[in-house]
Amino acid sequence: MKIGIIGTGAIGGTLARGLANLGHQVSIANSRGPETLKDLAAEIGAKAVSVREAARAGDVVILSIPQKAVPQLPRDLFAGVPSSVVVIDTGNYYPQLRDGRIEALEAGTLDSKWVAEQLGRPVVKAFNNIVAKSLREKGAPPGSPGRVALSIAGDPPEARAVALRLLDELGFDPVDAGRLDESWRQQPGTPAYCRDLDAASLKRALAEADPSRLTEYRREREEHVAKLLANAGG
Ligand SMILES: NC(=O)c1ccc[n+]([C@@H]2O[C@H](COP(=O)([O-])OP(=O)(O)OC[C@H]3O[C@@H](n4cnc5c(N)ncnc54)[C@H](OP(=O)(O)O)[C@@H]3O)[C@@H](O)[C@H]2O)c1
């Protein structure tokens, strides 16, 4: 498939490498322009492009940037891009640690619903609930004992099917968590967030999530990450 990736940091860079390795035609973009990505592109067998070109790369666009950067994307980023193109959002909202306060999210809009509104396109939330290290290291062939599972939630169903296939190719058991309205079940701090569970356990964790605790889940997660960073001296 032809895949554009906007954001080539810990998650976007790992996905670019993995997908290029699998033989996909990968185009990568960041905020600073393609010339800053030449070396990475050459190393992993991808093409360095502008953000606009990445959105027009072909079949799938993966958005992997901090939540606060989403409104900085060109307003017409997807103008003229066919509606069959699947948009995958890996993002999480971390107000204290990184993103600052985004009023719509504080008021209860789901993280990726807000992204979809900003882009003016439906999105599939995927790869948001695994840390980059696990994404890099824990992929395994189908049928491997304890294979880590990843869930996705998004619209439309055909887009979910594409995302599920990519998850499986990258080495993770794909779990369909339903429409974008269900994506809160894998937001930061929920039982399904970044725990490297197998498929049965991940399905249980998604079912256990409590919508009344979303703010609390996120706050606890931020506190946990802040402690890890402090202990690491970062
Ligand atoms: N790190 C993890 O383990 C992890 C796990 C799951 C989900 N996530 C989520 O995935 C998203 C990406 O996280 P990350 O850790 O990969 O971030 P990161 O390492 O900080 O990388 C961010 C990337 O986004 C690019 N970017 C920022 N603003 C941009 C803009 N306006 N236009 C185009 N590109 C832009 C940056 O490019 P420049 O360097 O050129 O600015 C960089 O390539 C976040 O929402 C994060 O919460 C992260």
Q: What is the pLDDT of residues 47-75, one digit of tens each?
A: 999 999 999 998 999 999 999 999 999 99
Distance 129 CA to ligand 1 centre (A): 14
Position 234 scores a pLDDT of 57
- Domain-embedded: residue 161: yes
- Domain-embedded: residue 5: no
The SS3 assignment for 61 reads: strand
Distance 7 CA to ligand 1 centre (A): 5
- Domain-embedded: residue 193: yes
Q: Whose CA is nearest to atom 9 of ligand 1?
A: 91
What is the signed CA dihedral for 23, 25, 30, 32, rounded to 10 degrees?
120
- Domain-embedded: residue 24: no
Q: Are 89 and 112 in contact (CB under 8 A)?
A: yes
Find the CATH number of the domain harbouring 103.
3.40.50.720
Q: Is 183 in the pocket of ligand 1 (CB under 6 A)?
A: no
Q: Indicate the residue type of 189.
A: G
- For the cut 90, the answer to whether the pLDDT of residue 210 exceeds it is yes
User: What is the Cα 13 distance to its own chain's centre?
Assistant: 12
Q: Which atom of ligand 1 is nearest to the CA of 13?
A: 16
Distance 9 CA to ligand 1 centre (A): 5
Q: Which atom of ligand 1 is nearest to the CA of 14?
A: 16
Q: Which residues, in sequence order, are bridge partners of residue 6?
A: 29, 63
CA gap 104, 9 in Å, rounded: 26
Position 233 scores a pLDDT of 79
Domain count, the chain: 1
Paired tokens of 34: 């393609």
Return mean pLDDT, the chain.
97
DSSP label of 46: -
Q: Is 6 in the pocket of ligand 1 (CB under 6 A)?
A: yes
- Domain-embedded: residue 35: no
Q: Are 29 and 88 in contact (CB under 8 A)?
A: no
Q: What is the pLDDT of residues 135-175, one digit of tens each?
A: 999 999 999 999 999 999 999 999 999 999 999 999 999 99
Question: How many C-alpha atoms does 64 have within 13 Å on its Cβ side?
Answer: 29
CA gap 167, 149 in Å, rounded: 9
If we measure between CA atoms, which residue out of 124, 210, 208 comes closest to residue 167? 124
- Domain-embedded: residue 123: yes
How is 156-196 classified by DSSP, letter by letter? Answer: SHHHHHHHHHHHHHTT-EEEE--SGGGGGGGSTTSTTSS--
- Domain-embedded: residue 37: no
- For the cut 70, the answer to whether the pLDDT of residue 14 exceeds it is yes
- Domain-embedded: residue 107: yes
Region 95-119: what's the mean pLDDT? 97
Q: Determine the length of the chain.
A: 234
Output the pTM of the full model.
Answer: 0.98
Range of the domain at 102: 66-231
Distance 212 CA to ligand 1 centre (A): 28
